[in-house]
Amino acid sequence: MDWNILFFVVFPYLSLAACVSVTIYRAVYRPFTISSLSSQLLERKKLFWGNISFHWGINLVLLGHLGALLLPKGLTLWNGEPLRLYLLEATGLALGIWATAGMVILLYRRLTEARVKVVTTPMDLIVLGLLLLSGVTGLLTATVYRFGSYWFTGVFTPYLLGLLTLQPNTALVAPLPWIIKLHVINFFVMLAVFPFSRLVHIVAFPLEYLTRPWQVVIANRQADRLSANQPSANPIHKP
């Protein structure tokens, strides 16, 4: 059997099926596990530098991939002028490095902070490891095999649309360098891992936050139970 068919046809379908069905199973039978356990109370400084750069970076880069898939014509017209191509590539590369740096900070934090280590599950480390592999192979693809924002529309747009319309074509991906293939296979691995890990929190994106009324959250600590010499956490409650 052809390995390319296994990795670029069978595996994507299996992982997508697992991703969709198990996520819905989990949402129905374990509804309160559709989230990711916050460790912000345990450590905040490293979390700030890792979390924000990772989340904003990865989401903007993913949006770029999605744009290349859904609007290939617009992207190729943009890239027809080399200066615009360079601007897009430099922006993508900066966002990719920002996100990958965030992953490194988060992984370092998970491995070194004693308080965070206590609540870290093996799956948390697997997820961070897969993300880091995705970031590194993505950066290598963007630099060694440039210009991905341009050839994506010729290679991966037809490949992915073929997959989604049940007409897969491995001839497009089979001859590519192994780093690019690893980047793609790693994505399908993440798709399969998705419903079994903290990644499920993606489907709980709080869209209703945009429309719901304000909630005012007030910490109501009892200042008198604290040492008299220390300033209160909420000076506003002091007479």
Token representation of residue 226: 């604290």
Rounded CA separation 136/138 (Å): 5
Rounded CA separation 155/144 (Å): 17
For other proteins, which is the closer residue by CB, 215 or 225? 225
The span from the first CA to the last CA of the chain, in angstroms, equals 78
For other proteins, which is the closer residue by CB, 85 or 131? 85
> Which single residue is written with the structure tokens 């069905």?
21
What is the amino acid identity at position 74? Answer: G
Return the closest-CA partner of residue 183 out of 22, 52, 65, 20: 65
CB 90 within 8 A of CB 49: no
CB-CB neighbours of 38 under 10 Å = 11
Phi and psi at 205, nearest 5°, equal: -60, 125
Q: How far is the CB of 155 from other proteins (least distance, A)?
A: 6
Q: How far is the CB of 105 from other proteins (least distance, A)?
A: 10
CB 95 within 8 A of CB 57: yes
Distance of CA 136 to the CA centre of its chain: 13
CB 145 within 8 A of CB 93: no
Q: How far is the CB of 45 from other proteins (least distance, A)?
A: 9
Q: How far is the CB of 11 from other proteins (least distance, A)?
A: 9
For other proteins, which is the closer residue by CB, 147 or 196? 147
For other proteins, which is the closer residue by CB, 110 or 152? 152
For other proteins, which is the closer residue by CB, 44 or 125? 44
Helix or strand run (H / E) with residue 207: none
For other proteins, which is the closer residue by CB, 82 or 213? 82
For other proteins, which is the closer residue by CB, 112 or 232? 232
Q: How far is the CB of 91 from other proteins (least distance, A)?
A: 7
Q: How far is the CB of 120 from other proteins (least distance, A)?
A: 21
Q: How far is the CB of 80 from other proteins (least distance, A)?
A: 4
